[in-house]
Amino acid sequence: MNWIAVKYFSLDHDLSALSRYLHERGLEHRITEENAQQCLAVTDAAVIPALQDFLQQLEDGRAQLPSTTAEPLVTPPYIQAGAAQPSLLVQAMHTPIVLALILLSAVGGLLVTTETGNLFLHYFSFQDFTDTQYIPIGESLSGGELWRLLTPIFLHFGIFHFLFNSLWMWDLGRRLEILQGKWGFLLFVVVTGIASNLTQYMWSGSSNFGGMSGVVYALVGFIAVRQRLNPHPLVAVSPALIGFMLVWLVLCMTGVVDYFIAGSVANAAHLGGLVAGAVYALFTGRYFLR
């Protein structure tokens, strides 16, 4: 049975009323002592966002635990045994960074694939460009256009490019956003996104590249390393999935995939993201204990 840590409490915090309340609603959980703290853990990842919201309401005084079996002032959603899986909308609301990344990727796809979007594309590419030349990246950065280091991750060259990256972000990204918290996950995206873009630029030079796949491979690298250093059920991804992504990386690097798509695959961004995610896990693997 996989236990997922939800929240840590000090040892002097009496959790008996909370445990009794959760038991009455059939929520399987346990409270253990870890690193001089009490750890509340559950087995169902689907209830974590609602349970964390409820715990925050208790902490803020917006809800209270009953002294009897009466209902509390605020009843959190789907914290009952056998509750239905939350809708996609509810899940998306609990991982706002992932939702924002997918929406921005859709906007970036429109910049690339529509005539009107093309008028604004050069503002978000790694290098600014005109009809005849690329502007050196150093000139743009010295002029304060630092966003160029990151914004290429949102540019997508076709619907399949967008769907492929968005599906992986939805599956893997939500895991990390719950694990790291929204601000921790946002930092992860910024760091690994910039790393993958810089790697691609250093490999290919002046070219118009983009896509979220560098960050997706950073997710893969982080999960693969994190699960070896400090396993956590939230990132307990099947080894077969990690293997598939690595095989796909190698296949793309052979150039075979380029025959079936317009343009070419940004292989250096994939590899740079993979390495960046793995290094990120090495340095932060023991910080995310949610």
Which residues are catalytic, by number?
Answer: 213, 270
Please report which residue ranges of the chain form alpha helices under DSSP H. Answer: 16-24, 48-60, 88-94, 96-113, 115-121, 137-142, 159-168, 174-180, 182-204, 213-229, 239-253, 267-284
Angle between helices 182-204 and 213-229 (to 10 degrees): 120
φ/ψ of residue 25, rounded to 5? -95, 10
Rounded Cα distance between 241 and 3, Å, is 22
Rounded Cα distance between 210 and 200, Å, is 9
Residue the block writes with tokens 């990256």:
165
Which residues are CB-neighbours of 233 under 8 A, at least 6 positions away? Answer: 2, 3, 4, 45
CA distances from 149 to 128, 142, 152, 210 (A): 11, 12, 7, 11
Which residues are CB-neighbours of 204 under 8 A, at least 6 positions away? Answer: 266, 268
Nearest of 92, 60, 84 to residue 73 by alpha carbon: 60
Nearest of 101, 122, 231 to residue 165 by alpha carbon: 101
DSSP 8-state code for residue 105? H
